[in-house]
Homo-oligomer: A and B are copies of this chain.
Amino acid sequence: MLEHILLGLLREQPMTGYELKKTIDSTVGFFYRTSFGSLYPALRRLEEKEYVIVEEVKGDSKNKKMYTLQKDGEVAFVEWLKQPLKSSKNEHLLRIFFLDYLDEEKQNFLLKEYQNKLKSERHKLKEVEKIVIGELEGITNPQDFYYRLSVLQYGVRHFEMELDWLEDIIRRKDV
**Chain A residues close to B by CB (< 8 Å):** 1, 4-5, 8, 11, 27-28, 30-33, 77-78, 80-82, 84-102, 106, 110, 113-114, 117, 121, 144-148, 150-151, 153-155, 157-158, 161-162, 164-165, 169, 173
Contacts and interface: CB of A to CB of B under 8 A. Distances in A.
Contact of A81 (B85, B98, B169): B98
What is the count of identical protomers in the complex?
A: 2
- Interface of chain A, main secondary structure: helix
A149 B87 CA distance: 20
A169 B28 CA distance: 18
Nearest to A152: B97
A42 to B, nearest CB: 14
